[in-house]
Amino acid sequence: MNMHKIAYSVFIAFVASLLTLVSVSALSSSERDAADDEGLDPITLGELAEHDAAESCWKAIHGRVYDITDYVSNHPTDPAVILEWCGREATEGWDNKRPGVPHSARAEGMLEAYLVGRLVDEAGEPVEPEAAARSDEARNGEAADEPALLSPAEDERLHRALLGLPLDGRYRGVFGDGGEMQVNVQFDLRDGRLSNVSYRHLAYRGVDYRTLDDDEDLYPVWVQHQQLAEALEDQPLTAIFALYEPERLAEDLDGYSGATLRGNKVHSAFRDALNRGVYSWP
Ligand code: HEM
């Protein structure tokens, strides 16, 4: 055999082993035959929902149920990222650890050790992930007949994709327009939740809202902005998208102040703060 033939055979062997690897991983959970699961304990969505916390965290992924309680503290992210999916159909989170990016084959292999059963409906039939996610929502009181398209203010997956996983710490950010700084916010992030939300500055056309007396016309606007800050307290970071609909967070004191409430400016100042990164460590 000359050198060319040897090199060619080595190349073919390499390609063949690659193809084997690819087809083995393609045969993973998503391609599994339902008959493989018949010996597993049937677990209903109701039973799954009882294990929705760090003390006992079960997840349904591609039709199987896993008790990952012991794994939570080993997961390479902030625990909140994976605790959010306890007690639920979690295929969507599993297949999108980052939007569009599934877990690795190594992670897939780890799941096996936590397997406790297969997901079934009340009649004992296997449940498709999409159907399970829908009835999960219905169980949580979300209307099953909600429009298929969420508004940008409500799409949690979009929010997570936009915000990423910012570090814990104190943040400061501003919104300015027409040469004037109008909003300067400060807040703390702890485990992805907001606290100590305050305004270091809030002004429009030269009026400093923070110094208004309670008998002044614009005073209600200041009160409403404080209500926005209070409404965000102890909420997950994605709650800042609710600022696009400030009337849901603050009481409409009167028509005038309602029209002057500028949740989108406050939102913009939050996003500026996140872009700048941590201002000081907790
Ligand atoms: C369903 C909820 C889950 C979500 C939302 C989630 C999310 C994430 C994220 C954001 C990362 C890090 C980012 C990255 O690698 O690019 C990650 C990595 C990882 N996760 Fe999860 N995870 C979940 C469940 C699990 C479970 C149940 C296990 C194992 C039993 C697991 C095992 C791993 C491993 C080993 C990595 C390292 C990267 C990889 O191998 O893909 N995750 N996950």
pLDDT, tens digit (0-9, with 9 covering 90-100), for 69-122: 999 999 998 888 899 899 999 998 898 887 778 899 999 999 999 999 999 988
Residue 27 forms part of a structural domain: no
The arrangement of strands across the sheet holding 180-190 comes to 169-177, 180-190, 193-204, 207-208
Per-residue pLDDT tens over the stretch 138-161: 555 544 444 445 555 566 666 777
pLDDT computed for residue 21 by the predictor: 44
Encoded amino acid at 258, one letter: G
Count Cβ atoms below 10 Å from residue 145 Cβ, excluding itself: 5
The domain that holds 63 is classified in CATH as: 3.10.120.10
Residue 47 forms part of a structural domain: yes
Same domain, 131 and 215: no
Please provide the average confidence, as pLDDT, over all residues in the chain: 80
CA of 76 from ligand 1 middle (Å) equals 7
For residue 214, the enclosing domain spans 163-276
CA of 17 from ligand 1 middle (Å) equals 27
Residue 9 forms part of a structural domain: no
Q: Is 106 in the pocket of ligand 1 (CB under 6 A)?
A: yes
Per-residue pLDDT tens over the stretch 195-211: 999 999 999 888 899 99
DSSP, collapsed to helix, strand or coil, labels residue 246 as helix
Tokens of 101: 């990016």
Same domain, 72 and 129: yes
Q: Is 57 in the pocket of ligand 1 (CB under 6 A)?
A: no
Same domain, 82 and 138: yes
CA of 146 from ligand 1 middle (Å) equals 30
CA of 48 from ligand 1 middle (Å) equals 20
| Structure-derived torsion over alpha carbons of residues 232, 174, 243, 193, reported in degrees to the nearest 10 | -30
Global pTM reads 0.49
Count of the separate structural domains present in the chain: 2
Atom of ligand 1 nearest to the CA of 90: 1
